[in-house]
Chains A and B, each alone.
Chain A
Amino acid sequence: MENEFIQFLSGNIEEFLTYTGFANFEIGNLIMIICGIIFIYLAIAKEFEPMLLIPIGFGILIGNIPFKDAGLQLGIYEQGSVLNILYQGVTQGWYPPLIFLGIGAMTDFSALISNPKLMLIGAAAQFGIFGAYAIALAMGFEPNQAGAIGIIGGADGPTAIFLSSKLAPNLMGAIAISAYSYMALVPVIQPPIMRLLTTKKERLIRMKPPRVVSHTEKVIFPIAGLLLTCFLVPSGLPLLGMLFFGNLLKESGVTRRLAETARGPLIDVITILLGLTVGASTQASQFLTANSVKIFILGAISFIIATAAGVLFVKFFNLFLKKGNKINPLIGNSGVSAVPDSARISQVIGLEYDPTNYLLMHAMGPNVAGVIGSAVAAGILLGFLA
C-alpha cells in the first residue's frame, strides 16, 4: 500500500517535472531571454525608449519561458489563450490605429502649419522605406515581404506592425522588434550621418522663428489633412483617419476630456498591450531564423537611407530658397517619424555647433510630417501588395 502511494507520488513528480521550463528548455530560449534583458537594461540604464522597450523586453521574457505543449492554452500562438486574445489586437491590426489616435491627440502640428514647406522633408525621408524595399527584393524576399520590411524605414512602430500584419504576418515579430530597436537607437544612428552630409556653414543656418498659428488653422488642419491624404490613398484610412481624428479632438477645444483620454489612459493601455504582446510573439522557435537576421540588417539600412534622404533633400531644397529663408539641413533627419526623438537629435546636434540656435520647433515640423508620410507610404504599399 505504502509502495503504491510512493510510486503514485513519484509518478506525479516526474509528470510535473516534464511540465517545467527546465525540462522544455532550448538554447534559443536562452538567447531570446538575454535579448529581453538587454532591452530592459537599455530602457532603464540608458533611457532608450523606456515606454516601448520595457513592455517589449518583458514580453520577450514571457514569450520565451519554455513549457510543455499540452494544450493548456498558455502560449501566445495557442488559440484561445489569454496572450493569444491580447495578441489579436496586433494580428487583426487594431492596436496601431488606436495608438495613432493617441498620437494625434498629443501632437501639436503648429510648427508644420506655420511653415508648411517642411512637409516636403517628411516626404523625402520616406525614401528609406523604398530603398529598403529594393534591397529586400535583391536579398530574395517576396514583394509583399519586402514592403513589410521596408516600412521599418518609416521609423514608426505602429505603422510597421499594422502593415506587416497585413502583408507578411509571419515576419511581424521580427519587423516590430527591429523597428522599435532602431527607433530607440536613433541617437546613435542619426548623428554621424547628419555630420557626414553637412558642412559647418550649413549647420549654423538660423531659421526664422515660426509664426503664431491661429485656432482656426489648427482646426482646419486635421479635416483638410484627412480629406486630402485619404482621398488620394484610401488604404491609409485606418492610420491617418485616427491620427487626424485624435488631432481634431485636441484642437477643437471642446472635447478636452476625450482628447485627454486618447492621449493619456487609452494610449497607455494600448502601448502596454502592444509592447507586451509583440515581445511575447518572439518565441525562439518562431523568431530565431535567418530571415530575422536579414530583417535586422535591412532595418538598419532603411534608417540610414531615410536619414540621409532627409538631410540631402534639405540641401537640395535650399538651392531654390532665398537667403533668409534657408532651412538648416540638421532638421532633415527628423523627416523619419520617431517623434520626438529625431527632432531632439536635430536640436542637440544644432546646439553643438551654435549654442543659441534652437532647432527643436523647426524639426518638429518634418517630424510630424514624417508620421503622415509614413502612414501614406504604408497605405500605398497596402494598396499595391495586399
Chain B
Amino acid sequence: MIRKIIGSIILSIGLASGTYAQSTSALRINEVLTNNVSNYMDPFGNRGAWIEIYNNSAGTVQMAGCFITNDKNNPKKYMISKGDLRTQIGPRQVVLLWADSYPHHGTFHTNFSLDPDKENYIALYDASGKNLIDEVTVPVLEADQSFGAPQDGARDLKILPHPTPEASNFVINNNPKVDKFAEHDPNGIGMAVTAMSVVFLALILLYLVFRVIGKISVRLSTKRAMKAQGISGKIKDAREESEIPGAVLAAITMALNEHQGGDHDYEETVLTIHRVTRNYSPWSSKIYGLREVPQIKKR
C-alpha cells in the first residue's frame, strides 16, 4: 500500500514537472534590439534595448519564475516576477522585456543591459534555473535594427531591418493552405481524391479490425456454448448440430406446453389481434422509436 502511495506521488510529481517544463519550453527569444536610437520607447520615456519573448504554442504559458540572463555563468541573473498577471503569454503572443538595468521600473525591466557595441549573449532558463529554454547570440547591430526570427518562433534568427516590438515578426493576411489549394487544385479533384482516400482508409481499417474481432468473438461464443452443452469436436460440426430449424423449435415448444398442461379446450386469456399501422419486424423493435413517414391523404 505504502509503495503504491509513494509510486503515485512520484508519478504525480513527474507528470506535474513534465507538464510545467513542456509549457515553458514553448517560449522563444523571438526578437532583440540592442541599439535603440529612435525605436520603441518604454512607458518611462526611455529608449533601451529590448528582448521579445514569444509563446510558440497553442496554449497559454506562464513565464513567471523563469530566468533571463546575459551571462553564461549566471543563469539566474534576473527572475521574472511571480506576482504579475501579465507574465501569462497567450497562444502565439509576445511580451517585451526592457534590458535597461532598471529592475525597479517593474517586472519587464531586467537588472542588466545590453552593449550595442559588442555581441550579446541572451539566455532564457526555466524556473529551476537549470534547464535552458532558449539562447541567442546577438551580433553587433546598426541603430534601430533588430535580430529576430523571420517567422515567429523559428530558430534561424536574422537581422531584421524593420523591428516589430510587441508584435508578430511576420504579418499574415492570408491563409497559405487555402491559397495553395486555390492555385494547385482549382477544380477540387485533388481534394476529393485525397480526402476520399483517407475516409475510405479510416473505415477500411475499422472494417478489418472488426472483421477479425467479430470472427474471434463468434469462435469464442461457440466454444462457450459447446462447453455448456457438453459438445466436443470441431466448431463447424457443433454449429451444424446446434442449428435447429425454427419449425422444429416451435414443435418442441408446443409439445412442452402440452406436457405442462397447456392442452385444454378453454383458454384462460383471450388474445385479440390489433392491426399495427407500422410495419413490424420481429427482430427489430426500433421501428417503434421512429416517426411515421408523412403521407398525403387522398380523399
Contact = CB atoms under 8 A, between A and B. Distances in A.
B191 interface: yes
Contacts, number: 157
B interface SS class = helix
A144 interface: yes
A137 interface: yes
B235 interface: no
A120 B283 contact: no
A217 B177 contact: no
Contact of B217 (A126, A130, A217, A360): A217
Interface stretch (B59-67, B84-92, B120-128, B290-298): B290-298
Contact of B199 (A123, A347, A355): A123
Contact of B206 (A116, A340, A355): A116
B281 A360 contact: yes
Interface in B170-227: 175, 177-178, 181-182, 185-189, 191-192, 194-196, 198-207, 209-211, 213-214, 217-218, 220-221
B287 interface: yes
Interface residues of A, number: 64
B192 to A, nearest CB: 4
Contact of B207 (A119, A127, A138, A220): A119
B196 A340 contact: no
Contacts of B283: 209, 358, 361
A54 B200 CA distance: 36
A116 B290 contact: no
A211 B218 contact: yes
B196 to A, nearest CB: 6
A123 B284 contact: no
A67 B199 CA distance: 46
Contacts of B73: none
Interface string A362-377: 0010000100110011
A228 B198 CA distance: 12
Contact of B181 (A130, A225, A384): A384
Contact of B203 (A364, A369, A381): A369
B286 interface: yes
A133 B199 contact: no
Contact of A187 (B178, B207, B279, B293): B293
Given A134-B192, A232-B205, A360 B287 contact: yes
Contacts of A124: 200
Kindly name the residue among B178, B182, B186 whose own CB sees the greatest number of chain A CB atoms within 10 A.
B178
A290 B200 CA distance: 35
A258 to B, nearest CB: 21
A47 interface: yes
A134 B290 CA distance: 35
Contacts of B198: 232-233, 376, 380
A380 B178 contact: no
B284 A130 contact: no
Contacts of A344: 290, 293
A76 B200 CA distance: 40
Given A123-B200, A123-B203, 4 more contacts: A112-B210, A122-B203, A344-B290, A369-B203
14 contacts: A46-B294, A47-B291, A116-B206, A116-B207, A126-B196, A126-B199, A130-B188, A232-B198, A348-B293, A361-B283, A361-B284, A376-B199, A385-B175, A385-B178
